[in-house]
Amino acid sequence: MRRTIFAAAHGPISLAFSIAGAILDLRIESLRMRLPNHLGKDEASGLIAGETLAQYELGTLRNFIYLIIDWDAKEAAIVDPQKDMTPLRDLEAHGIRLTKILLTHSHHDHVAGVPELLSTSPNLSVYVHPGDQFRLKKFDPERIKPLADGETVLVGSIEVEVIHSPGHSVGEVCFWVKKDAGYLLTGDVLFIRDCGRTDFETGSDEDLFSTLQRLKKIPDSVAMLPGHHYAIETANLFGAEKMTSPPLLCKTVEELRSLP
């Protein structure tokens, strides 16, 4: 009798889970369809005329480099530049002037292109959180501009909010581009369905957990753009990440620490 009851109950429970899973999949797919057409594909598409955000995959570590472009003002900022100057050449081809270098953090693979940009463009400055400036001692301190949590940086007329996001590095920041539906450049603190390592210098599980709780407040409609191409797709909507990302689903530091 017990087996019969279990079998009878197990069927509806399994069906309920299947239905719930199917509904979740539909919600996730519906969110992903709201991504701008040039984002969220399997490969970074580079600069697309008229688009606020350009994404490039450059370097041996599959880094994503971003351009934030104000097409009306013909001004742009580059985020985490590599030695490959393809983004700069694309800007020049469209008559757009590079006005800022923004760093999510100062690990070597995110600053590789800074020396050449500073040497060829004497009016450029590097914007970075003070907590990560200690790795930039070889650069002229007069050209290093500190970023503060909650600060707004202007790229032309586009507002970019700075969100201090320690965990992977003590001075890491995310850049929330307040244009269109919004774009959040997360550097190495948050990847698609994954998060950054904390076993590097100044990394911290506790800081990372606190950062993730804060990032959960980002609106679902904002596009999340990570610092590396570690997933199949290159971007996702934050709403989809909140439903599927193991780090964002963790409820305690211990849970986060136990993730593979």
In terms of Cβ atoms closer than 10 Å to its own Cβ (0-12, 13-18, 19+), residue 45 is middle
Is 205 designated active site?
no
Catalytic: which of 80, 90, 105, 229? Answer: 105
- C-alpha separations of 9 from 22, 122, 159 in Å: 20, 72, 55
Helices (H) and strands (E) in the chain, counts: 8, 14
Catalytic: which of 38, 80, 90, 110? Answer: 110
Catalytic: which of 84, 109, 180, 220? Answer: 109
Is 38 designated active site?
no
> What type of residue sits at position 166?
P
Q: How far apart are CA 12 and CA 7, in angstroms?
A: 9
Catalytic: which of 80, 168, 207, 229? Answer: 168
Is 107 designated active site?
yes
Is 109 designated active site?
yes
Is 105 designated active site?
yes
String of DSSP letters for 71-89: TTTTEEEEES--S--HHHH
Catalytic: which of 70, 90, 132, 188? Answer: 188
Catalytic: which of 107, 129, 164, 229? Answer: 107
Is 129 designated active site?
no
Catalytic: which of 38, 129, 164, 228? Answer: 228
Q: Which residue numbers are catalytic?
A: 105, 107, 109-110, 168, 188, 228
